[in-house]
Amino acid sequence: MHAADFRHGPLEVVDRGFAALIFAGANSNSVLSRDLAREIQSNGGRVFWVDSSVDPEIPTVLLPQTGDLTRPLLEILPMHRLTLVMARRKGLEAGHFRPLSKGTTRE
């Protein structure tokens, strides 16, 4: 989710029980991502910064150095693996969706 989208919704739920992984992203966007990370921290949330260099103020998950074109692969693949592990721990089958009705049945 982009920083602007997060600020217009989920930021309201940030408190001491909230945790987020914030990806630095492309060099041109990393300042915006870091500002969001600091804002989450200032609202009591925990943040883990994902980047190819350590941030002195935010716990960092290090990625290998890469260019902006290949960075999305380094960000997406570990997240994919993480969601598989989280689903397994909850007893869910990743990619299996619960059946929903085809339409809204009430207001």
Domain definitions of the chain by residue range: 3-89
pLDDT score at 37 = 94
Residue of 37, 66, 38, 39 whose CA lies nearest to 53? 66
Collapsed DSSP state (helix, strand, coil) of residue 26: coil
Q: How far apart are the first and last CA of the chain?
A: 29
pLDDT digits (tens, 9 = 90+) for 86-99: 999 999 888 877 77
Over pLDDT 90: what percentage of the chain?
38
Cα separation, 5 vs 8, in Å, equals: 5
Residue count of the chain? 107
Q: What average pLDDT does the segment 71-79 reach?
A: 85
Between these two residues, 77 and 102, which has the higher pLDDT value? 77
Collapsed DSSP state (helix, strand, coil) of residue 49: strand
pLDDT score at 101 = 65
Cα separation, 25 vs 12, in Å, equals: 23
Look up the CATH number of domain 3-89: 3.40.50.10490
Q: What average pLDDT does the segment 53-73 reach?
A: 90
pLDDT score at 102 = 66
pLDDT band at 14 (very low <50, low <70, confident <90, very high): very high
Collapsed DSSP state (helix, strand, coil) of residue 89: helix
